[in-house]
Structure 1
Amino acid sequence: MASGALAKPQMRGLLAKRLRFHIVGAFIVAVGVACAYKFGVAEQRKKAYADFYRNYDSMKDFEEMRRAGIFQSTK
């Protein structure tokens, strides 16, 4: 019977080799997610706040809330 001998598996340095690959991949994914959040969420939010406060009149808003009866201490 001819039984073929299997090659020995690479065991020395296997963890370091795989960690190097996975750390680089994790870093790339983390940077991608951070950029996506910054440009997809944070910048849009800053723009929305800037647009809102560009023409915001706090006294007009206060008067509307006072007329609606939200404040109990003012008449």
Structure 2
Amino acid sequence: MSSAVIAKPAMRGLLAKHLRFHLAVAFILAFSVAGAFKFIVTDSRKRAYADFYKKYDAMKAFEAMRDAGVFESVKPKK
């Protein structure tokens, strides 16, 4: 009858070993998600705002709102 010897589990330093690995993975994932968010969301949003304000005429919008009666203190143009 042969009995196999089972190795003892490595308990000393196990938490530190796992934390080191998981912290590294967490930082890599966090920075990659932040970079992706910056390039996908914020850059496209900045581009959309820039395109809007290239064509935006504040006086034309003000006159349209004034004629529609949005403002209480400004009389509509007749």
How far has the Cα of 1:12 moved from its partner? 1.0
Instruction: Please show how residues 27-46 of structure 1 align to structure 2 within 5 Å.
Output: 27-46=27-46
5+ long unaligned stretches in structure 1: none
For residue 7 of structure 2, what is the aligned residue in structure 1?
7
Aligned-pair identity in percent equals 63
User: Is the partner of 2:39 in helix, strand or coil?
Assistant: helix
> More displaced, 1-10 or 54-63?
1-10
Residue correspondences, number:
75
How far has the Cα of 1:3 moved from its partner? 5.6
Structure 1 ranges of 4+ moved more than 3 A: 1-5
User: Partner letter of residue 32 of structure 1?
Assistant: S
How far has the Cα of 1:70 moved from its partner? 0.6
5+ long unaligned stretches in structure 2: none
Name the TM-score, length of structure 2 as normaliser.
0.86
CA distance in 2, matches of 1:73, 1:24: 60
CA distance in 2, matches of 1:18, 1:69: 66
Instruction: Please show how residues 1-75 of structure 1 align to structure 2 within 5 Å.
Output: 4-75=4-75
Name the TM-score, length of structure 1 as normaliser.
0.90
